[in-house]
Amino acid sequence: MIATLSGVVAEKLVDVVVLDVRGVGYGLFVTGEDHGALAQGQPAKVYVYEHIREVSYDLFGFLKLDTKKLFEQLLGVNGVGPKMALSVLSIGSTNHVRGAIAGGDVKFIQQANGVGKRVAERIVVELKDKVGLEGVELSATGLLQSDATLLQDEAAEALVALGFTPQDAVRALQNVDAKLPTQTRIKLALKKGTA
C-alpha cells in the first residue's frame, strides 16, 4: 500500500499531477485546490489513496491528511465513487466543503460535477455529524469571528450532531453560561431552540 509519495512535480495536466519520485512518474488525481498549490519543478509530499479495480489502478493525491480523510468519508456515502468525491472536494477549499456539509448546504454540494440533488442530500445526511466543526471556515457558515470559540465547543458539536446547523447551534448557546457543565448547556440550548 502506498501511504505517501515525496518527489518533484514533473507535470501538471488538467486534473492530474505527475510526481517524479526518483525517476518514476506517478500520475495523481488531485483536487482543484491542491492542483493550484502544486508548482511544477517544486518538491512536494502527498498523501495517497489507491483505487484498484480489474481494469484500472488510480492514485489520488492530497497535500493535507485532513483532505484525504474527508475524501474517504465521502467514499463511504452510497453512490459516491472516487472521481465524484474528488469533484465534491474541488468545488471549494476543504474547510468550505466541510462547512457546507455540516451546515446542510445541499445546493453548494450540487455544484460538483456529476452530483445530483439526491446524492448531495445523501452526503449531507450521512456526513453532517461526522465531519465535525473543527477547521470549519467561519465565512462558509456565515458566522462572525467572535463566534469562533463557540464553534470549538463540545456543546455546539453536540447540537450539530442533533441536527442544528452551525449557525443555529452558536445562536442557541450565545446566552448560555459557558461555565456550566456541557450537558446542562445542551439542555438549556435545546429549550431555547424550541421556545
Residue type, 145: Q
Cβ contact 140:103 at 8 Å:
yes
Question: Is the pLDDT at 167 greater than 50, yes or no?
Answer: yes
C-beta atoms surrounding 26 within 10 Å: 18
Residue 48 falls in which region: left (phi positive, over 0), alpha (psi -120 to 50) or beta? beta
Domain ranges of the chain: 4-62, 65-127, 143-194
Cell numbers for 181: 457543565
The CATH topology of domain 65-127 is DNA polymerase; domain 1 (1.10.150)
Segment 55-59 mean pLDDT: 91
Question: Is the pLDDT at 153 greater than 70, yes or no?
Answer: no
The alpha carbon of 155 is separated from its chain's Cα centroid by a whole number of angstroms, namely 21
The residue that leads in pLDDT, 135 or 91, is 91
Pairing of strands 57-62, 24-29: parallel
Percentage of residues in the chain having pLDDT higher than 90: 47
92 φ, ψ (degrees, to nearest 5): -175, -175
193 — pLDDT class (breaks 50, 70, 90): low
The CATH topology of domain 143-194 is Helicase, Ruva Protein; domain 3 (1.10.8)
The CATH topology of domain 4-62 is OB fold (Dihydrolipoamide Acetyltransferase, E2P) (2.40.50)
Largest separation between any pair of C-alpha atoms in the chain? 65
pLDDT in tens, 102-148: 888 889 999 999 899 999 999 988 998 788 654 444 444 444 434 44
Question: What is the pTM (predicted TM-score) of this model?
Answer: 0.67
Whole-angstrom CA distances from 3 to 34, 61, 68 are 17, 10, 11
